[in-house]
């Protein structure tokens, strides 16, 4: 009789803890879902003393594994409008730091890890690196930094900063729009997995 009572008591406690554990797991999952569904993504930067805020809907990402090194890009802005492109071959599963550029083709940043486009007018492009000039081909560390990368069910939420000079290059026509500029910003974006998950 005592054995039966002990067995019943053990089963009752086991069921209680099992249910409690499932409740905790479900709570954690819902928290992740709530976090992903919140409209807290952003892409903001300043240049020439102006703050430029790119809408989350106008930010896209890509992850290309066909290159010598898998390459991750963030494209912020619409085609033909002010936009910024960030490029890295760093491991996207952990925090990282990418320099302004590299002469090594495999790094995919021979034209810079940061590219400002269609600013201050359409068709102007300013890159953070240029292998054709000694003054623009010296890598500057921490140009593009991934602070946090969080795995969610269908992708990753990536948070980071960038702080780098983009170069105007040759200005033989004395165009006032062509000059070196500092670009400083921060972002929190979502990369949705397609074929490759990381």
Q: Is residue 197 part of a domain?
A: no
Q: Is residue 86 part of a domain?
A: yes
Residues 85 and 70: their CA atoms lie apart, in Å, by 16
Q: Does residue 144 contact residue 98 with C-beta atoms inside 8 Å?
A: yes
Q: What share of the chain is helix, strand, coil (3-state, %, to 5)?
A: 20, 35, 40
13 and 80 part of one domain: no
pLDDT of residue 11: 42
9 and 28 part of one domain: yes
Reported as a single tens digit per residue, the pLDDT across 5-54 is 444 444 444 444 444 444 333 333 333 444 555 468 999 999 999 999 99
Of 22-31, 139-148, 164-173, minimum mean pLDDT range: 22-31
For 121-150, give one letter per residue: b (16+ CB within 10 A) or e. eeeeebbbbbeeeeebbebeeebbbbeebe
- Note the helical H segments in 38-103: none
pLDDT of residue 171: 80
Q: Is the pLDDT of residue 196 over 90?
A: no
Write out the residue range of the structural domain in which residue 151 sits.
Answer: 40-192
Domain tally for the chain?
2
Of 31-35, 96-100, 186-190, minimum mean pLDDT range: 31-35
Residues 142 and 5: their CA atoms lie apart, in Å, by 66
Q: Is the pLDDT of residue 69 over 70?
A: yes
């Amino acid at each position: 009789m005592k054995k039966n009572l002990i067995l019943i008591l053990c089963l009752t406690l086991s069921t209680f803890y099992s249910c409690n554990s499932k409740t905790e797991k479900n709570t954690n999952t819902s928290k992740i879902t709530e976090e992903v569904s919140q409209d807290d993504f952003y892409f903001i930067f300043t240049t020439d003393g102006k703050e430029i805020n790119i809408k989350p809907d106008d930010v896209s990402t890509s992850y290309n594994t066909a290159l010598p090194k898998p390459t991750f890009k963030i494209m912020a802005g619409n085609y033909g409008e002010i936009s910024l492109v960030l490029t890295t071959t760093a491991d996207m599963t952990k925090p990282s730091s990418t320099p302004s550029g590299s002469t090594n083709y495999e790094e995919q940043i021979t034209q810079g890890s940061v590219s400002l486009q269609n600013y201050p007018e359409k068709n102007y492009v300013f890159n953070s690196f240029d292998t054709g000039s000694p003054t623009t081909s010296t890598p500057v560390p921490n140009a593009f930094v991934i602070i946090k990368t969080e795995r969610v069910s269908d992708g990753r939420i990536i948070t980071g900063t960038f702080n780098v000079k983009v170069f105007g290059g040759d200005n033989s026509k004395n165009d006032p729009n062509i000059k070196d500029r500092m670009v400083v910003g921060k972002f929190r974006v979502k990369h949705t997995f397609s074929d490759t998950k990381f």
